[in-house]
Amino acid sequence: MNRILFGILVVVTTSLMGSSFAVGKIGLAYFSPLLLVGLRFTLAGLIMGAWVWKKPLPKSAGDWGKLCLIGFLQTAAVMGCIFLSLRTITAGESSILTFMNPLLVVIWGTLFLGISYRLTQWMGVLVGLVGVFITLGFHLQWETGTLFGIGSALAWSMATILVKRWGVRFNVWVLTAYQMLFGGILLLVMGVTLETPKLIVTPTAVFVVVWLAIMASIVQFATWFYLLNHGDPGRTSAFLFLAPFFGVLSGWVLLGEVVQWHVYVGGLLIFAGIFLVNWTFAPRRQVSEKAQLAE
């Protein structure tokens, strides 16, 4: 792929990932958190579902169950935690905590997939964890939003491991569409049962939902998958460290958030850790594909 085009697409997809935190926080003035994210992914899932309905669908109840579990973790848990975190911490802090998930993938990959990683990748994990500690202000007196931010990273990393194990069973676009739809519907149910629903319909509110569903979900996913399919996945994934940068930047531009110095320092260390983990990604040993499919 042309390097200029690759660079443009990387900036497009990571800026959409990062800016969705600030846009989502704007939306909280009009929607309760779970209702907002539920509307976002139900709409995105319906649109993508209509697009992929002729593609091969899962053939067994077990495969549908696997797809729904991925949707619970990747969409319902991750996005629910993110939007709940935005009630008490800044969009920049939430994005930094969420995008430490590649560091956790190294740990889960070692424990559950039998992958052997290089020393530099383990150094990346340690550097990233130090960055998280600094981002939190050198202490462990976490706010509720901080815990939700870490919860989103945990859920995302577990979903990544499940996709690595089970993804070969599904058409990638079918998996994307239906995990979003299932997660979105689950979030809608949670939004009307677990919290007091808030819905204020204004042009800004409609714009927020449409932007999050179309640009920050469908366009972002499509661009990211295109990059993964036309480049080395390991090296391409290294550019995920740009997403929290755009999260902090959009929080400053759109919300006027003041970011403390330790958040910048911690964020840089997290980015460095993610870079070390992904840029040198070349696992020496993996369990066989047959063993993964058997599970």
pTM: 0.78
Contact 221, 173 (CB under 8 A): no
43 vs 217: CA distance, rounded Å: 10
Read off the pLDDT of each residue in 90-105 and give the average, rounded to a whole number.
79
Determine the 3-state secondary structure of 141 from DSSP: coil
Determine the 3-state secondary structure of 199 from DSSP: strand
How many beta carbons lie within 10 A of that of residue 232, not counting itself? 10
Residue ranges covered by each domain of the chain: 3-294
180 vs 158: CA distance, rounded Å: 16
Instruction: Extract the tokens encoding 254.
Output: 């759109």
- What does the pLDDT read at residue 181? 94
Amino acid letter at 146? T
Q: pLDDT digit string (tens) for 197-217? A: 899 999 999 999 999 999 999
Instruction: Out of 22-36, 58-72, 228-242, 243-257, pick the least confident.
Output: 228-242
Contact 81, 72 (CB under 8 A): no
Read off the pLDDT of each residue in 20-41 and give the average, rounded to a whole number.
93
Q: pLDDT digit string (tens) for 284-295? A: 444 444 444 444
